[in-house]
């Protein structure tokens, strides 16, 4: 089964000169949720919507489905 990869999100943050803490504050997501994203774990779709709203992007811009290693 494929899993979510958030590498695109981390690249987008670099491109926008934004750090993870600033993103968490702007999107009103918790540090533990940010840690889940960092580990590639499952998060609620509402979290992804909040991130997309802050970054003015789509879900395709911040995540992709990949084959597990």
pLDDT digits (tens, 9 = 90+) for 31-54: 999 999 999 898 999 999 999 999
Number of C-beta neighbours around residue 33 at 10 A? 17
Burial class (CB in 10 A: 0-12, 13-18, 19+), 13: middle
DSSP symbols for 16-69: TT--HHHHHHHHT--HHHHHHHHHT----HHHHHHHHHHHT--HHHH-EEE---
- The Cα 13–Cα 65 span in angstroms is 19
- For the stretch 12-36, pLDDT in tens is 999 999 999 999 999 999 999 999 9
Query: What predicted TM-score, i.e. pTM, was given to this entire model?
Result: 0.91
Taking 90 as the threshold, does the pLDDT of residue 68 lie above it? no
């Amino acid at each position: 089964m494929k899993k979510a990869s958030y590498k695109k999100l981390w690249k987008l943050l670099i491109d926008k000169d934004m750090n993870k803490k600033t993103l968490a504050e702007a999107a009103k997501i918790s540090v533990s949720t940010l840690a889940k994203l960092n580990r590639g774990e499952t998060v609620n779709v509402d979290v992804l919507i909040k991130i997309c709203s802050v970054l003015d992007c789509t879900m395709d811009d911040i995540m992709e489905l990949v084959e597990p290693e």
